């Protein structure tokens, strides 16, 4: 059961796509409410209650014991007690005697204190009196999540090639650099589907431009790579450089599509290209205009993009200068408090006529950029596109995916990658993943292999790092055959992973889940957060510690243990309970549930060679409901492409 409560005059966030009548405030259960300058909600947690959700936040899958602030911010120093990240995902689930979920639908700052002082109190402070609150009641946390996914709309559907392996680095500056990356992967026999281009491909870091000296013929280069089954994926930032003569800038000024300051002139902020204006994505006409700009890329045959710097990230403004630019590669970045004034200095004109400072609606800016981009690509392309973003809000999942931002090459960040995935799925973001290997810092061989073994199972599998760090392409490390083995597993599993993603998206379900969601009566499974369910058949238990050769794995039921190596798949049946499992760096171990199957395909160099239906079956089941399509058609329905395969 879902009940909506409205307070004040909420800003339309577009997160919920189903209409509900507002209930009387006296009907609010689970929370006590106080009204002052903020809306303040509290409830008491039971001693054994677990709190799930909040999407992209630090700590474990169980959010109890932490304090979290929904206020999107660019800070690459991801520590356990870090309160804010790049996304605002204000949905939580309390798993207790009477499970319930709560979605605090407001684009302003929200503080979640989930028993951080051990008092048993869960408090939510919304820095506005204008919001919508959705209370969802159900018998289980998983059932509550399914109800929530049903009201926020279906995940966007990427093309098949977006599930391949991607290589990226801030520092690929020329066509020659990218050609070398492609050639080295081919030489090493490491599968590859796309290569990302960071800001260096642009003319002086200006959106919707290409440096003609470095990329003299982008359309021809893109076509050449596509002939080999590879795609180019350029970055697009939020700020538009102030440069008369640039047609995008000139049109934006002429039609007043940019945000204004408190003096009524266009707000100026420094980002990579220098002083820029920010498009006012809160206006439908601006979103349409910005989305149409992607024609610059699609005319060159590009079909995949990543949006960045859209919290929005700011180096300096017309009012406040900084001594230096933040340098995320070297770890020099300002704290959120220093930018609060910046966000209060520029304003949005909402489609309902109201004017709001960015600070008041801050968390929605990146999501509306994603919406503008996704809707534009939907108009420009006759096939599915790839789009993922750094900043996000619930609802943006309908237009693109996300990656978890500028992480670092540490074991803690690898563990956070595992914790983030089910929490993001709870908030609708099925197509998600982390910068494999870490963005900042220097990744070593052991960490990259362990991280790849996790990323094999996440929809977005991209190796990305910063310009000031050690190069971490797989082919640069010794015993490259180990990297070839791990990445190759991704392609063998794609008939399963693609099928399970599409079924989850089209049925508005989770793809990656905590064990407790599939084994609700198992108390031990309820407290294990470093093992995850992937689709209907697979459980993963990755190695997340440095220098160890294996780990203890808990099996809630008898399963098939699958060991992948350069020799292929080895399967054994194992009983329920705890077991110590050895997992050498050159192998990946995963599990198939009792009575389930996993289709695995042939080895390929990229998805252009993949036949989703040419598979063998692993596991003990008798049939598997497989989704398969051409990998790019927009109009795909679950009931037209489902095949049942008997073992």
Catalytic residues, by residue number, are 308, 311, 406
As a whole number of angstroms, the distance between CA 578 and CA 615 comes to 31
Nearest to residue 497, comparing CAs of 89, 165, 143? 165
**Torsion angles phi and psi, residue 542, rounded to 5:** -70, 155
Compute how many other C-beta atoms are within 10 angstroms of the C-beta atom of residue 571: 13
Nearest to residue 20, comparing CAs of 137, 146, 135? 135
Contact 591, 541 (CB under 8 A): yes
Cis peptide before 188 (omega within 30 of 0): no
**Bridge partners of 252?**
none
Contact 238, 279 (CB under 8 A): yes
Secondary structure of residue 48 in the 3-state scheme: coil
**Torsion angles phi and psi, residue 535, rounded to 5:** 70, -165
Secondary structure of residue 353 in the 3-state scheme: coil
As a whole number of angstroms, the distance between CA 465 and CA 461 comes to 13
As a whole number of angstroms, the distance between CA 153 and CA 143 comes to 16
Terminal C-alpha separation, the chain: 39
Nearest to residue 560, comparing CAs of 621, 619, 617, 509? 619
Ramachandran region, residue 437 (left: φ > 0; alpha: ψ -120 to 50; beta: rest)? left
Length of the chain: 647
Nearest to residue 179, comparing CAs of 138, 220, 149? 220
Secondary structure of residue 187 in the 3-state scheme: helix
DSSP letters, 229-247, are T-EEEEEEESPEE--TT-H
Q: At what angle do helices 480-506 and 445-455 cross, to 10 degrees?
A: 30
Nearest to residue 103, comparing CAs of 9, 20, 34, 26? 20
Compute how many other C-beta atoms are within 10 angstroms of the C-beta atom of residue 42: 14
In the 8-state DSSP scheme, what is residue 44? E
**Chain centre to alpha carbon of residue 207:** 22
As a whole number of angstroms, the distance between CA 446 and CA 552 comes to 19
Nearest to residue 439, comparing CAs of 404, 415, 474? 404
Compute how many other C-beta atoms are within 10 angstroms of the C-beta atom of residue 202: 23
**Torsion angles phi and psi, residue 72, rounded to 5:** -55, 130
Going 42 to 48 to 53 to 57, the CA torsion angle's sign is positive
Nearest to residue 52, comparing CAs of 434, 510, 602? 510
């Amino acid at each position: 059961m879902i009940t909506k409560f409205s307070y004040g005059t909420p800003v339309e966030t577009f997160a919920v796509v189903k209409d509900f009548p507002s209930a009387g405030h006296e009907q609010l259960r689970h929370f006590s409410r106080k009204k002052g300058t903020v809306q303040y909600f509290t409830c008491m947690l039971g001693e054994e209650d677990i709190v799930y959700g909040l999407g992209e936040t630090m700590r474990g899958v169980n959010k109890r014991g932490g304090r979290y602030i929904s206020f999107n911010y660019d800070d690459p120093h991801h520590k356990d007690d870090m309160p804010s990240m790049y996304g605002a995902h204000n949905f939580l689930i309390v798993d207790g005697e009477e499970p319930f979920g709560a979605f605090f639908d407001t684009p302003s700052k929200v503080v979640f204190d989930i028993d951080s002082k051990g008092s048993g109190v869960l408090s939510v402070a919304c820095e506005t009196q204008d919001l919508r609150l959705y209370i969802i009641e159900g018998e289980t946390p998983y059932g509550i999540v399914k109800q929530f996914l049903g009201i926020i709309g279906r995940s966007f559907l990427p093309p098949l090639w977006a599930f391949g392996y991607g290589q990226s680095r801030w520092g690929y500056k020329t066509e020659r650099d990218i050609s070398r990356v492609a050639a080295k992967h081919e030489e090493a026999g490491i599968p590859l589907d796309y290569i990302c281009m960071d800001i260096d491909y642009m003319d002086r870091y200006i959106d919707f431009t290409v440096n003609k000296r470095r990329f003299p013929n982008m359309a021809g280069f893109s076509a050449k790579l596509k002939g080999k089954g590879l795609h180019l994926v350029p970055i697009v930032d939020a700020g538009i450089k102030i440069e008369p003569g640039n047609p995008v800038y000139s049109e934006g000024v002429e039609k007043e599509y940019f945000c204004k300051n408190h003096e009524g002139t266009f707000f100026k902020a420094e980002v990579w290209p220098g002083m820029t204006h920010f498009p006012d994505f809160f206006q439908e006409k601006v979103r349409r205009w910005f989305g149409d700009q992607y024609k610059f890329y699609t005319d060159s045959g590009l079909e995949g993009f990543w949006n960045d710097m859209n919290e929005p990230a700011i180096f300096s403004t017309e009012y406040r200068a900084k001594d230096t630019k933040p340098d995320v590669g070297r770890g020099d970045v300002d704290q959120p408090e220093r930018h609060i004034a910046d966000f209060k200095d520029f304003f949005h004109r909402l489609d309902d006529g109201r004017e709001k400072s960015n600070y008041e609606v801050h968390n929605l800016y990146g999501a509306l950029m994603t919406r503008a981009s996704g809707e534009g690509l939907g108009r420009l392309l006759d096939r599915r596109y790839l789009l993922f973003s750094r900043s996000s809000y619930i609802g943006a999942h309908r237009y693109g995916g996300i990656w978890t931002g500028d992480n670092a090459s540490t074991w803690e960040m690898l563990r956070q990658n595992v914790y983030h995935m089910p929490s993001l799925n709870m908030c609708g973001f099925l197509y998600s993943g982390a910068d494999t290997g870490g963005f900042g810092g220097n990744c070593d061989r052991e960490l990259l292999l362990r991280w790849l073994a996790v990323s094999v199972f996440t929809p977005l599998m991209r190796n990305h790092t910063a310009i000031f760090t050690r190069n971490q392409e797989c082919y640069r490390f010794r015993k490259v055959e180990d990297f070839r083995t791990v990445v190759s597993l991704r392609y063998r599993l794609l008939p399963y992973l693609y099928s399970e993603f599409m079924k989850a998206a089209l049925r508005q379900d989770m793809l990656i889940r905590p064990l407790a969601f599939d084994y609700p009566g198992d108390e031990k499974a309820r407290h294990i957060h470093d093992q995850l369910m992937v689709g209907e058949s697979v459980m993963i238990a990755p190695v997340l510690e440095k220098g160890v050769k294996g780990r203890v794995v808990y099996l809630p039921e008898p399963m098939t243990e699958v060991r992948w190596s350069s020799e292929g798949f080895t399967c054994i049946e194992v009983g329920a309970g705890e077991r110590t499992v050895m997992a050498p760096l050159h192998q990946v171990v995963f599990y198939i549930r009792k009575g389930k199957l996993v289709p695995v395909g042939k080895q390929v160099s990229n998805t252009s060679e993949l036949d989703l239906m040419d598979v063998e079956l692993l596991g003990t089941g008798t049939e598997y409901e497989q989704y398969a399509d051409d990998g790019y058609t927009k109009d795909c329905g679950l009931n037209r492409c489902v095949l049942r395969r008997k073992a």
